[in-house]
Amino acid sequence: MIEETNNSDVVEEVLAWFTAYNAARRAGDAEALNGFFWNSPSTVRFGPTETLFGIESIAAFRLGKWKAPAMSREIVRVAVTAFGRDAATTNALFRSANGKVSRQSQTWARFPEGWKIAAAHVSAAPDEGAA
C-alpha cells in the first residue's frame, strides 16, 4: 500500500534525474542515456518509430539506429508524481524549434545505484496538446 504521495524530497530527486536524462539526450550521449534505464529484460521503451522490450534492445537502438536530435527542444511542462519513497512518474511536453510538440512519459524506480527508468513512452502530440 502506498502510504505517501508527492514527498517533496522524492519529487526533487526524480526531477534532478529527469533533467540529467534530458541533458544527455540533448548532448547525444547514447551511453549515458542507456545508463538511465533499469538494467533488466523487463524494461520497456516505446518511441515514435520503435517498440523496445528489455535493456538489450534499448541499448542496441541507442547505440545503433538512434541519432542525436537535429534540433533542440524545450520543456513546456513537466509533472512529477512520487508514490512512496521509491517510485515516481514523469510526464512532460516538449516543443521543438519547428513548433512541434512531443510527449514523454517515464516510470522511475529507486535502486541501490540511484533512480532508473523502468518504462518510457515518447510520442507526437496534437497541436493543441501544449496546453
Chain segment 11-48, per-residue pLDDT in tens:
999 999 999 999 999 888 999 999 999 999 999 999 98
Q: pLDDT by residue (tens digit) across 74-91?
A: 999 999 999 999 999 999
Please list, in sequence order, all residues whose beta carbon lies within 8 angstroms of the beta carbon of residue 126, skipping any fewer than 6 positions away.
Answer: 101
Provide the 8-state DSSP code for 14.
Answer: H
CB 93 within 8 A of CB 129: yes
In angstroms, the CA 124 to CA 108 distance is 21
Residue 98 pLDDT > 90, yes or no? no
| Mean pLDDT across the chain | 91
Residue 67 pLDDT > 80, yes or no? no
